[in-house]
Amino acid sequence: MTDMNLWIGLGVLTAVLYMIKWLQGRRKVTVYRISPTSLKRSRDVMLKVLPLVEDGADGHLDETSLPVDKTTVKSAAKILAYHFWKEAQHEELARTKNCFISLSRFQNRDLEPDARERIATRERARLVQEFDCYLTHTSSRKG
């Protein structure tokens, strides 16, 4: 009887752990609607941010100097990246990618320099992966 209870307990525990793993693995997918209006808004956002990141420097910047939040800039960059990819405007696509990745330079100025550097390095790697994944999935779509 004890062996049966042990196996039932292990089975239930395994099922619960697989359920938790499945729930954590589900991702929220954002769908961007490309329209003349969204392209204009995205261009406006990027024109505000590009001068800040195309300064040729690699140093950290204060995140409060961004004219809009990082999420808005990322969405605008993705919309423009799709447009530039579709129109085969490779130079503009490269500028957009550089701007997207350069968001890692904007950090909280109240943090210690070492902490700011660690956070920026992790964020940069995550942004490179996010943009490359977005472009990969964009280019694999028929359109």
The residue that leads in pLDDT, 132 or 141, is: 132
pLDDT-derived band of residue 44, with 50, 70 and 90 as boundaries? Answer: very high
Q: How high is the pLDDT of residue 29?
A: 63
**Range 21-44 average pLDDT:** 80
pLDDT-derived band of residue 95, with 50, 70 and 90 as boundaries? Answer: very high
Q: How high is the pLDDT of residue 34?
A: 82
Outline where DSSP puts E strands in 75-134: 106-107
